[in-house]
Amino acid sequence: MGALKRVLEGNADAVEFCPTPAYYNLLAAASYILIEGPTPTRVGGLYLFTLGDDGYNLQELQTIETSGIFDIKWRKPGPGLVPCLGQASADGTLRLYTLLDDDKPTLQETANLDIDSSMCLSLDWSPMESEPQIAVSHSNGTLTIVDVGQSEPQVSSSGQAHELETWITSFDSWHPKLIYTGADDCQFCGWDIRQGLDSAVFRNKKTHSMGVCSVQTNPQIEHSLITGSYDENLRLWDMRMSVRPVMKLGMGLGGGVWRLKWHPLDQGLILAACMHYGFVLVRVDADAMDVVEEYKEHESLAYGADWYQGAWSKSGPEKPSENTGKESLRSLAATCSFYDKALHVWEPSVVALNTRV
């Protein structure tokens, strides 16, 4: 398939495919606009699309006008859980939207929690279903933990994680009480929320020469984690020494590495949004990293990136069979760029390998 392209009304900065199997075809996108003046205003839009069953159509289902958006994340899927989307807003609020599916899928705002006077820059959902929580990072360096298992979300803890903008926060996929942060102070930190947010488990100050923008653990390999930085480098970490993680591999990608996403089925394939350099696919093996594909169809800053969560066949998207074992799969990627307001859905030529389905 060729790339499916849409132009949003605002500057496009985040995209997320729904991870719930029945709604794999749903794609959320977000935008941000700074209206300058004596009192600057930040506005944005939240967009919901559906990918056609034949894979050659991207239909817009809904647009929600809201505050400027820095990040969006779907809740991790689980038995009986209705899809829910979290929004990190420029006005300091965490907004939650529940998916309704009557005549067609739509998002309904179900919570709007005023967390901080500073901007919310990123969020992540805990992988722990029994104690649902969201971590939110802020432009003043604060990290906030929100309990979302009750009727109304509530802040459970908050702390000064960094002195400058905390660009990213991420739960450990394997250890749900561990959270990682990266910030403009060039620090990569780990936190154990059982011990509070007054002191970090570790604080790496020397590895990144510029701000840390992206952190994500590998959902298929325990103790494996990647970071991206304004210093244009992708780094692979071994987290088995949690108080002193070991950087195993690193490579320069160019442009400032803003977002990194592990492939949902391939344990060694990474999609990277590299700001001024576009989007690249990186293959990680035991002792090597290699760029295996570049996507240069965007005309502005590469910001948002995500993988379609299922498999892909000639007839369109599908959930991989539980009995297929290891196989090669076609994949889909969604990417967006800022000033040209562009959203693309495209099929990499690289097939997914080393899958565990």
Domain residue spans in the chain?
A: 4-346
Q: Say whether 74 sits in a helix, a strand or coil.
A: strand
Q: How far apart are CA 307 and CA 335, in angstroms?
A: 9
Q: In what order do the strands lie in the sheet with 133-138?
A: 120-125, 133-138, 142-147, 154-160
Please state the CATH superfamily assignment of the domain spanning residues 4-346 in this structure: YVTN repeat-like/Quinoprotein amine dehydrogenase (2.130.10.10)
**pLDDT band of 355, cuts 50, 70, 90:** low
**What is the total residue count of the chain?**
357
Q: What CA–CA distance (Å, rounded) separates 194 from 188?
A: 19
Select from 205, 198, 167, 197 the least CA-distant residue to 183.
167
Global pTM reads: 0.94
What does the block give as tokens for 192? 């154990």
* Residue 316 scores a pLDDT above 70: no
The pLDDT mean for the chain works out to 92
Token readout for 318 is 């599908």
Question: Please, what's the b/e burial string for 91-120 (b: 16 or more CB within 10 A of its CB; e: otherwise)?
Answer: bbbbbbbebeeeeebebeeebebebbebbb
Examine the pLDDT at 20 and tell me if it is beyond 90: yes
Q: Where does the pLDDT of residue 313 fall: very low under 50, low under 70, confident under 90, or very high at 90 and above?
A: low
Q: How far, in Å, CA of 308 to CA of 331, rounded? A: 7
